[in-house]
Each structure stands twice: as C-alpha cells, then as structure tokens.
C-alpha cells in the first residue's frame, strides 16, 4: 500500500488501493450481483442470482461479516417506539444533538461511538461486563504485529501468549482517550428489558431514551448458503481451515478466526486466500485425475 501522509492510511486511501489492485491484476469483477441461492449439483454448484445463473466446480464464499449486523434478543424489543440503529448504520453524531442516547456494547465500536455522541448528546453506555482497555501506546500497528507473530508461532507449533493484546479489549484511539479525560467513559450494567419509551434497568428502574445504538457485533453473512443445510445457528459452517468438512468443493474465506487466523482483516485474509487456492488446486487436480 502506498505510504500515507498520516500515521495510518485513511478510508479513501484503502479504497483507492483496492481499486488499483483490481485493475493491476485485471480481476474480473461483476457488480452488483446478489446471490439468492446456492444449489449443490452432481458437477459442483449452481448459483441463482439477481443477474444470472452460474455454474462452477468450486465455490469460494468470501462475503465476510459486515453485511450481517447482529442485535441480540431483548424482552420488549418490539415495544420501543424510539429509534434503534446498529453501529453498522451509524455515520456521525449530528442526528443526536441534545437527545438522550443509549449506546449498547463494551467493545471498540461502543467506546468510539460513545466518545463521539457524548460530545453532543446525553449519552449512557450499557455493557454486559466491565470494559477492558489496552495501554495507550498500543495501536493498530502493534496489534497487527502481535497477530503476525502469533500466526508464525502457530505455524511453527509454538506457544504464543497474546492475551495482554486481546482484540476484545478497547484500543485507546485519540477520541477514546479524549473521552476518558473528560470523564465520558462511564458505564452501567446492561438493562433487562426494553419498554415503550426506553429501558428497564436491573434494579427495576425505567429510563427514557430517544435512540438506542447497538454496538453488538456481526454474524457471518452466509444466508446465501442456507439451502445447503449446513449453516448453524451462529451463521457458521464446519470447516477445516477454509475447507467445508461436509460439502466438497466449498471454501469459506474471510469470516474471522474460524476460517483462518485473523482472516477478517486485510493482513490476515491474504494468508487464508493463498492457502485456499492451494487447496482448490489440489481438489481440482483430483477431479481431473478421476
């Protein structure tokens, strides 16, 4: 990736890099195609889409997680008359000025959105467990270096303790540090139910909110594979590395650690992609030899 003028490349720089990657390698991309159904056939797979029907001997599903935001079930969720959005649809705090906002979730998204919204609104942070923070000097570069070191240790069959750099802990990016300095990182134990106007806290006290922002993560976007009857309740599929253990010729790339260490990141998915292509080549060679 070209060197950025900033410490880290911006969103636009990353997008530009991916566009140039596609052009350089002349990747044949068809947009915009939605896969409605995948059917297992005698010779491989048939894909029914909003554009056309496709056939293939090997199918690599790489739809990731970002298209499937997850909101947990909470009693009374159908009663709340206010606004509910997931962090996936959050853009900026401007729509919440002078409002009462509840931010739900004790991960990075929750902390970062709280940091922004609390500047313009009365914001409350609801969490299931007390948030844990990484040291201020630990940033994304350190986490990537640790992830790479852990990967190489795993490949060599060695132990590598990265617990102090757990991705479950909050990265102290500048907005979160600023929020801490002004005392905005206050939290409450999560509520037990939603009401018509807000939430009911564990002690039985109700509180009104204008908006609830769910920072509660994502599930794997595997709905297009439901017709294969191999997707579990967490939207996952049984695999060895990226290869399906049930359906020959099906591979899953980029869904997180269950399909390859750190495979939901740009730095990690490259390793998973290379390994997958080697598996696919072996599989196709076996088909040809039969």
pLDDT exceeds cutoff 70 at 157: yes
Torsion 20-26-32-34 (CA) sign: negative
* Per-residue pLDDT tens digits for 208-259: 999 999 999 999 999 999 999 999 988 999 999 899 999 999 999 999 888 8
pLDDT exceeds cutoff 70 at 62: yes
Nearest residue to 228 (alpha-carbon basis) of 114, 87, 61, 94: 61
The residue count for the chain: 290
pLDDT exceeds cutoff 70 at 143: no
CA dihedral 214→215→220→221, nearest 10 degrees, is: 50
Report yes or no on whether pTM surpasses 0.85: no
1 falls in which pLDDT band (50, 70, 90)? confident
When the pLDDT of each residue in the chain is averaged and rounded to a whole number, the result is: 90
* Per-residue pLDDT tens digits for 100-129: 999 999 899 999 999 999 999 999 999 999
Domains in the chain: ranges and CATH: 31-66+221-289 (3.50.50.60), 83-133+170-214 (3.50.50.60)
161 falls in which pLDDT band (50, 70, 90)? low
Q: pLDDT above 70 covers what percent of the chain?
A: 92
């Amino acid at each position: 990736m070209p060197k950025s003028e900033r410490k880290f490349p911006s969103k636009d720089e990353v997008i530009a890099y991916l566009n140039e990657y596609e052009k350089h390698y002349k990747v044949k991309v068809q947009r915009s195609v939605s896969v409605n159904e995948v059917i297992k056939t005698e010779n491989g797979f048939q894909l029914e889409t909003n554009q056309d029907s496709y056939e293939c001997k090997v199918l690599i599903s790489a739809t990731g997680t970002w298209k499937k935001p997850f909101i947990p079930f909470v009693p009374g969720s159908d009663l709340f008359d206010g606004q509910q959005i997931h962090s996936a649809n959050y853009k900026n705090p401007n729509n919440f000025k002078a409002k009462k906002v509840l931010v739900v979730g004790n991960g990075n998204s929750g902390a970062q959105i709280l940091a922004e919204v609390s500047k313009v609104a009365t914001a409350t942070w609801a969490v299931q467990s007390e948030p844990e923070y990484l040291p201020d000097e630990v940033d994304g570069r350190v986490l990537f270096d640790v992830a790479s070191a852990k990967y190489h240790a795993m490949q060599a069959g060695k132990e590598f303790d990265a617990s102090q750099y757990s991705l479950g802990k909050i990265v102290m990016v500048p907005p979160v540090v600023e929020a801490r300095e002004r005392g905005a990182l206050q939290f409450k134990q999560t509520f037990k139910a939603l009401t018509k106007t807000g939430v009911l806290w564990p002690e039985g006290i109700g509180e009104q909110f204008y908006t609830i922002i769910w920072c509660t993560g994502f599930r794997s976007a595997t709905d297009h594979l439901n017709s294969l009857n191999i997707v579990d309740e967490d939207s996952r599929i049984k695999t060895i590395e990226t290869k399906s253990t049930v359906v020959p010729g099906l591979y899953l790339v980029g869904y997180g650690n269950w399909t390859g260490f750190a495979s939901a990141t740009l730095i990690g998915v490259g390793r998973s992609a290379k390994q997958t292509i080697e598996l696919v080549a072996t599989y196709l060679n076996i088909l040809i030899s039969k």
